[in-house]
Amino acid sequence: MLAAPSHAAVDAPLLSVSELSVVYRGRRRAAAAPAVDNVSFHVARNSVFALIGESGSGKTSLARAICGLVASSGSVEYDGAPLDQDAMRAHRMRPIQMVHQNPFSALNPRWPIWRSVAEPIVALTRHHRGSGRPREEAGALLQRVGLDARLHERLPHQVSGGQCQRVAIARALATRSKLIVLDEAVSALDAAVKKDILALLRSLAAEESITYFFVTHDMASVAAIATDVAVMKAGRIVEIGTSAEVLTAPRDDYTRELINAVPTLTRNTPNPDRSDAA
């Protein structure tokens, strides 16, 4: 019989970021202001950690650094272990998956959507971690995200933006990652589709024990899904706390400006118990 996990293991954060910085240098290698400047925080297991800020605040650079897609200094730990190139090779694929604002960019335009979802399943099977039935598993995942079998043979340009984003989410689920980074994943969708995708994300998080790192400039989406919130400005985190704390009693002037820009947030108090979102 397997021993029950210790409370320390259960309570340990899934993601720990310490003194992380990202600096982009031009062709002349002149000194440049960091896009991410000495950022530290933790992301709890089974939470929805929202990172919010205006365009140019460094949100996407931070998200990409966490996923190992850009060079950075500092440290990132995933599930208690350093996340470096050796760890990436050990996992055989990136243990943290990313869903982008433009889902079409992540899909092969010549493949039917089921094949894009099956690709990481094939990779897992090759390393004895998959089911051996990638097409069937891909179909089940597409059904799970709300796309019926009639759509599975279609190419990415033959489905809507919201449907394509569901494909991208299914592809991230196919890797069996427990941490998914959503980089402005709903910002390009209309209000009705956005509401449906947020509901889908909440459902998947609860049923699959997934943790989200939710990058956005949209305070309304944060109020709808987040358990914890960090506010980023000019490469630094200026405020961090639970969703209820940050949205109802912000401490930083910049946070108050972001909230005041969405009048409905000043009238609606977020539910501090977001267990349905995690």
Q: What pLDDT does residue 89 have?
A: 54
Place of tokens 């989200």: 212
Would you give the distance in Å from CA 215 to the centre of its chain? 7
Q: Which of 201, 160, 152 is nearest to 181 (CA)?
A: 201
Q: Which of the residue ranges 136-145, 182-191, 263-272 would you say has the lowest mean pLDDT?
A: 263-272
Q: What pLDDT does residue 272 have?
A: 45
pLDDT in tens, 96-114: 999 988 888 888 999 999 9
Q: What pLDDT does residue 143 have?
A: 95
What whole-number distance in Å separates Cα of residue 43 and Cα of residue 201? 17
pLDDT in tens, 201-241: 999 999 989 999 999 999 989 999 999 999 999 999 999 99
User: Regarding beta strands 73-78 and 15-22, do their DSSP bridges make them parallel or antiparallel, or are they unpaired?
Assistant: antiparallel
Q: What pLDDT does residue 95 have?
A: 83
Judge whether residue 3 has pLDDT over 80.
Answer: no
Domains of the chain: 11-95+179-277 (3.40.50.300), 109-176 (no CATH)
Q: Which of the residue ranges 82-96, 155-169, 205-219, 232-246 would you say has the lowest mean pLDDT?
A: 82-96
What whole-number distance in Å separates Cα of residue 227 and Cα of residue 257? 20
How distant, in Å, are the alpha carbons of 158, 170, 185, 200 from that of 162? 12, 13, 10, 11
Q: What pLDDT does residue 1 have?
A: 29
pLDDT in tens, 50-74: 999 999 999 999 999 999 889 899 9
